[in-house]
Amino acid sequence: MAAAIEIPTKVLPNSTCELRVPVIGMGSAPDFTCKKDTKEAIIEAIKQGYRHFDTAAAYGSETALGEALKEARDLGLVTREDLFVTSKLWVTENHPHLVVPALRKSLETLQLEYLDLYLIHWPLSSQPGKFSFPIQAEDLLPFDVKGVWESMEESLKLGLTKAIGVSNFSVKKLQNLLSVATIRPAVNQVEMNLAWQQKKLREFCNANGIVLTAFSPLRKGASRGPNEVMENDMLKGIAEAHGKSIAQVSLRWLYEQGVTFVAKSYDKERMNQNLQIFDWELTTEDHQKIDQIKQNRLIPGPTKPQLNDLWDDEI
């Protein structure tokens, strides 16, 4: 078997202990049904060099991920300290009194003593105990950002997680959070790819020590129309010039922006290809072409009907 690739890491400036996160993580969002596939894919990913694993209470993948990580530790492939595990607080638990119990439940499911990173999944709160996806808009309740964030800070002090952050927060929502936070969020995980480059959000996060993590880095994850990244002729040309795939060009671009990202592939070859991005560079001309790609958001939001003010009209 080929030697595992050593994935570069990035410091989380807003974490209390200068925690380092591997720049590429393995996602486990719910587009699969077989727990066995998940487990086998995660063991394979660890063998290839993946150390950062991203899940969420809402994904239904915490059990399989927990079993796989335990097996990998039992086999001596990794220690707990080698791993970086992220999970997320779902909207039904996005209430001050439910944050710590929800995190404890995730830890139990994952068979872990602590998380490396715990995120607020969406800047929304809904009826406790009433899980549905999409979230029914009539089930939404006011989001107590100050109270919830105090509970996130408490989970950090209790040693249940090493860092805390958010997901799907606009600049405006981050500004609101920063105005009430004692400990700043370490990460904001958002959709980001070549057709949704998040320039304004990137600039704001850089200025405030918040590391961006991109989900849907290859613009997969929704079935509407053609994939503006993977089916883009101009990107095909750039990829051919470097002897790489469009996926590799996309991930290399993210790496050169200084962001981290979670890619999701359970295919052994593709998992490996996603790691082959660290020993070459895009040219200035490549970047100029990529800057011209038409921008539009792929994932409008988790509610039915969609909310008008979820993204605060930010581009």
At 308 the pLDDT is 85
Which of 59, 118, 255, 266 is an active site residue? Answer: 59
pLDDT, tens digit, 9 for 90 and up, residues 190-223? 999 999 999 999 999 999 999 999 999 998 755 5
- For residue 266, indicate whether it is catalytic: no
User: In terms of residue numbers, what domain contains 51?
Assistant: 9-304
Q: Which two tokens stand for residue 119?
A: 């995120």
Q: Does 274 fall in a domain?
A: yes
Q: Which two tokens stand for residue 175?
A: 């500004």
Q: Does 312 fall in a domain?
A: no
Q: Residue 135 maps to which CATH number?
A: 3.20.20.100
Intervals of the chain under pLDDT 70: 1-2, 30-36, 221-225, 314-315
Q: Does 39 fall in a domain?
A: yes
At 30 the pLDDT is 64
Q: Does 216 fall in a domain?
A: yes
Q: Does 4 fall in a domain?
A: no
Q: Does 310 fall in a domain?
A: no
* Residues with Cβ within 8 Å of residue 315, at least 6 apart in sequence: 199, 200, 295
Q: How many domains does the chain have?
A: 1
**Average pLDDT over the chain, rounded to whole?**
92
At 35 the pLDDT is 61
Q: Does 38 fall in a domain?
A: yes
Residue with tokens 């990107």: 235
Residue with tokens 């050169």: 256
At 33 the pLDDT is 47
pLDDT, tens digit, 9 for 90 and up, residues 64-113? 999 999 999 999 999 999 999 999 999 999 999 999 999 999 999 999 99
Is 242 annotated as ligand-binding? no
Q: Does 166 fall in a domain?
A: yes
Q: Which two tokens stand for residue 50?
A: 């993946």
Decide: pTM greater than 0.85.
yes
